[in-house]
Chain A
Amino acid sequence: MSKHIVFLVISFVLLMSLQVLVFRNFVFLQVGFPFIYLLFLLSFPVDSGFTTAMVFGLICAIIVDLFYQTLGIHASAAVFIMFIRPTWMKIVVPRSGYESNELSTIGSYGISWFLGYAAPLIFAYCCIVFFVEAGSAQFFWHTITKALVSSVITLVFVVFTQYLFYPKSN
């Protein structure tokens, strides 16, 4: 964690402002919402504590909530994925195993591991956000389409951002 603290702070500021100022204004195909700030939460090292991760998730998501005018919805989804993240990471172990103090990004463990790790978490996040926001299962197929398309778009942006701006493996 300490090794990457500067990098994490910079990526927090940049990704949050990107999310709030730029990506909030884009809706792809009328159903795809990119949540690029999830990259910050997903890139936490494997040995960062439960509580730290959840509190960071809460803080980021509440900032996003304030701008999306959906107070609490993104927050609950982010806290949930930060809670299941360590358990999920134990299931999808990369071939070489985890290294302590290493960011969980493509640069550290490779693209195939990252996709398997990030895609279900992002999908869980989108499902919670859209189902809580809709408030009912009345438009089940519409909501699930929203969640699916948004997760794919979020994943694409999250992967490309890493290829463009994140440090390569050492």
Chain B
Amino acid sequence: MMLKALEQFRHRRFRRDLSAYVDDMLSEKARRRLEAHLHSCEACRQELAELRATVETLGSLPMAEVPRSFTLAAPPVAEVRPRPTARRLEFGLRLATATAAFALTLVVVGDFAGLPGGGEQEEEKPSGMLLSANQETPAVAEAVPVGTPAAEETQPMIGAVPAETPAAVEAPPAETPAAVEAPPVEAPAAEETPSAIVGAPAETPEPPGIWSRDVPGVTEGPTPAPAGVEEGVFGFGEQAQDKATVEDAEVDEEADLAPDGAPAVAEEEDGGLSRGDVVRWLEIGLGAGVGILVVLWVTTRFHRGIGDRG
């Protein structure tokens, strides 16, 4: 049973290679394997013969003569395109949007990663070590607006290392209730901290216990939302593709690497999707994803604020 299924699978793979074999486009190894299979598989031999006949027949189609000459009598009028400045502006705006979205994602992911699981972590926190680490790295500004709007004057530095050592570093929320209410996207601490050293967190010693406990929180928190976004975007493309051809869905080319996947989907004209459309949907999807993340983040913050007060 299993063997038969495996045989079927191999057979399908070999069938897929037949076209490239006709054009001598298989690698030496694949070619030899296919030839060995052909030796033992009557169905594949038949299909190969039919495939060759098909190619030959198509090749025998005569080319039509042109009905007239297509030479140009005069240089055509220049195409009306958006002015380069306008296009540059658009590009700049899109780049800015993308950067903002990315930064915002960092903020939220960083913040989720930085959420303390509960009060008991404070006791385990080796604050002395952290302090010295922070003295070495006086400013981790870039991370500040990101990770901790909470960390105002009270603990500007400690909160600044959200990504790498999340729970260990976050200031105890109970001590800074006011900070919790700080507007989420603003970065008040950033003004106090003059420069950015992103590499700094590496020097911060990791408290292993806390780190390991917080890992699930880190991974579970923010990821579902982006995943959903991706599914949404690519699901859309795939629907279009399915409409275009059912066969396409079942036969998947092994040589199609992931980077090819997107453009391939984008090019499925039969679904009425152009590359531009896909980019637009991708942008919309990203925007929606970021929006969901922000809402999640704000909600979590809000709950935490209530919890702290209570």
A, B bound: no
B-side residues, CB < 8 A to A, are none
